[in-house]
A = this chain, B = another copy of it.
Amino acid sequence: MVTKAEILAVGTELLMGQIANTNAQYISARLPDVGIGVYYHSVVGDNRERLRDVLRLAISRSDLLITTGGLGPTKDDLTKETIAELFDRRLITHQESLDRLKAFFNSLKRPMTENNLKQANMPDGAIVLRNNNGTAPGCIMEEKGKIVIMLPGPPSEMKVMFEEGVIPFLSERSDSRIVSRFLRIFGIGESSMEDAIKDLIENQSNPTIAPYAKEGELALRITARYPKDGGSKDLIAPIEEEIKKRLGVKVYSSNNKGLDEVVSEMLLETNTSIAIAESCTGGLISARLTETPGISRVFNRGIISYSNQAKIEDLHVKKRTLERFGAVSRETAIEMAKGVRNISETDLGLSVTGIAGPDGGSPEKPVGLVYIALDCRESTECKELNLWGSRNRIRNVTALYAFDMIRRRLLERKD
C-alpha cells in the first residue's frame, strides 16, 4: 500500500530560480485524490552524484517517488540513467517509443540526431508512459515495495502523462480516495464570502472547506475522504448545496472550470451567437473564448478597435460620440456593442473600452476606468469598472467582468 510520497524535481533551472516548482504543486494537489499523502519535495540539479544521493535518500524514506525532469535528449538529462543504475537495471530500447520518436521527426521533416535516440531507452521491466505532448516518454518502476515514477519536466507534458498514466495506476493500489470539488466564485470579496460561510468552514471536518483567492475571483475547495470500496453517501453535495444557497448566482462553476470556459459552453449549449469589440483588452476576451473547441459555431467575429478610425469604420461608432464623450465612455462602449452586433447579425454584441495603463490616465478618466457594454435584441446594458493594479491585472479582471456579464445575461434568458 502506498502512503508516503516524495516528489523530486531534477533541473538546474529550478535551482537558478528561473522557474518555480509548479510541477510539485500540481502533483501534490492531485495525489490525495488517490489517498496518498506527500511528505517531501526535493529539487536537485543536473549532476550525477548529487542526484544519486538524493534518489537514495528518497527511496529510503518514501514508498512512492515521483521525479519530474531530466528525461530529455541532452547529456544533462540524467534521471533515467541514474535511477536505472541505482536499481541495477539496464536501459534497453523501447521499440514503440523509438517508432513514435521517428514518426514524430518524420512528420516535422526534421532530422533526428543521435542524442534523440536515448529518449527511447527505458529501464528494463519498466511500464512505459507515452508522451502525447512531447518526445520524452515517462515510466513506472516497481522494486521491493517501492514505486518510482519518472515524468518529463515541461508542465504541459507532465500533466497529461500524470492524469492519463499515473493517476489510474496509483488509484488501483489505493484503499481510500480523497475527493475534492472546486466551487468558483465571482462578484464577491474574500472577507464577505468568509463571513457568509464561516460557520460551515468551522463546523466541518469531513468534508473540509478551504477558501482561495485568485486574481479578481475566489474559489472554495470542498474535500472529503471516502473508503475506496464505496461509501455511497455523497459527503460533498449537501455542503455544496448549502454554499450555493448562500452565495447564489455568484457561484459560477462546481468543477473548477474558468469563467471563460463556462461562458463558451453556455454559448454553445444555448446556441447563442456572439460578436466582440475590444479596445483595452486587445483581443484577450476573444482569445480566451476561442480556447474552447467548436466555438466557431457561435463566435462570429471579434474586432480589436484600438484606433478611433477602427471604431468608426469597423463598428460604426459616430465620430460625434467619440468627440463629445471620448473613446473611453459609456456612450462609446454602447455604440461599439451595438455596432459589432449589427454588423455580425449575432444574438449578442459585447464591447470593452478602457484605460489599462500604466499611461494614458487623467484625473477625470484614471487608469483602471473601463466600460463594458452588452447588447442584444431586447436590451443594452453598460457597466463601469474602476479597477486597480498593473496593466495585466486590469486587462485580466476586465475580461472576468465581461464573461460574467455574458453569463448572467444567458442565465436570465434561460428563465
Complex-state Cα separation, A289 to B295, whole angstroms:
23
Chain A 61-91 interface mask (CB, 8 Å, partner B; 1/0): 1000000000011101000000000000000
Chain B residues with CB under 8 A of A356: 293
Contact B314 A303 (CB under 8 A): yes
Chain A 97-111 interface mask (CB, 8 Å, partner B; 1/0): 000000010011011
Interface SS, A side: mixed
Contact B41 A16 (CB under 8 A): no
Complex-state Cα separation, A20 to B22, whole angstroms:
6
Could you jot down 13 A-B contacts, CB within 8 Å? A13-B210, A16-B38, A16-B221, A16-B223, A17-B29, A20-B20, A76-B211, A104-B388, A113-B194, A156-B392, A283-B304, A301-B309, A301-B314
A283/B287 contact (C-beta < 8 A), A74-B211, A190-B72 known: yes
Chain B residues with CB under 8 A of A42: 40-43
Chain B residues with CB under 8 A of A307: 296, 300-301
Contact A25 B19 (CB under 8 A): yes
Query: How far in angstroms is the closest Cβ of chain B from A117?
Result: 10
For residue A326, CB closer than 8 A to chain B, the reply is no
Query: How far in angstroms is the closest Cβ of chain B from A317?
Result: 13
Query: Closest residue to A343 on the B side, CB-wise?
Result: B313
Query: How far in angstroms is the closest Cβ of chain B from A38?
Result: 5
Chain A residues within CB distance 8 Å of chain B: 9, 12-22, 24-30, 32, 37-45, 50, 53-54, 57, 61, 72-74, 76, 104, 107-108, 110-113, 115-116, 133, 154, 156, 180, 189-192, 194-195, 210-215, 221, 223, 276, 278, 281-287, 289-291, 293-296, 299-307, 309-310, 313-314, 343-344, 356-359, 386, 388-393, 395
Contact A39 B28 (CB under 8 A): no
Query: How far in angstroms is the closest Cβ of chain B from A86?
Result: 18
Interface centre among A294, A296, A343, A391 (most CB of B within 10 A): A296
Contact A210 B290 (CB under 8 A): no
A190/B73 contact (C-beta < 8 A), A45-B39, A287-B283 known: yes
Contact A210 B27 (CB under 8 A): no
Chain B residues with CB under 8 A of A38: 15-17
Query: How far in angstroms is the closest Cβ of chain B from A403?
Result: 14
A300/B310 contact (C-beta < 8 A), A21-B20, A104-B388, A191-B73 known: yes
Query: Closest residue to A11 on the B side, CB-wise?
Result: B212
Complex-state Cα separation, A50 to B4, whole angstroms:
12
Contact A306 B310 (CB under 8 A): no
Contact B192 A16 (CB under 8 A): no
Chain B residues with CB under 8 A of A39: 15, 44-45, 50
Query: How far in angstroms is the closest Cβ of chain B from A16?
Result: 6
Chain B residues with CB under 8 A of A116: 191
Query: How far in angstroms is the closest Cβ of chain B from A114?
Result: 8
Query: How far in angstroms is the closest Cβ of chain B from A185?
Result: 15
A213/B72 contact (C-beta < 8 A), A282-B302, A304-B283 known: yes
Chain B residues with CB under 8 A of A13: 210, 212, 221
Complex-state Cα separation, A301 to B388, whole angstroms:
26
Interface centre among A43, A115, A133, A299 (most CB of B within 10 A): A43
Chain B residues with CB under 8 A of A389: 133
A115 is contacted by which of B191, B299, B303 (Cβ under 8 Å)? B191
A21/B41 contact (C-beta < 8 A), A282-B291, A306-B296 known: yes
A41 is contacted by which of B15, B107, B390 (Cβ under 8 Å)? B15
Chain B residues with CB under 8 A of A115: 191, 194
Chain B residues with CB under 8 A of A215: 154, 156
Chain B residues with CB under 8 A of A283: 278, 283-287, 290, 302, 304
Chain B residues with CB under 8 A of A294: 359
Contact B390 A195 (CB under 8 A): no
Given contacts A16-B38, A39-B44, A154-B213, 4 further A-B contacts (CB under 8 A): A16-B32, A18-B210, A113-B195, A286-B287
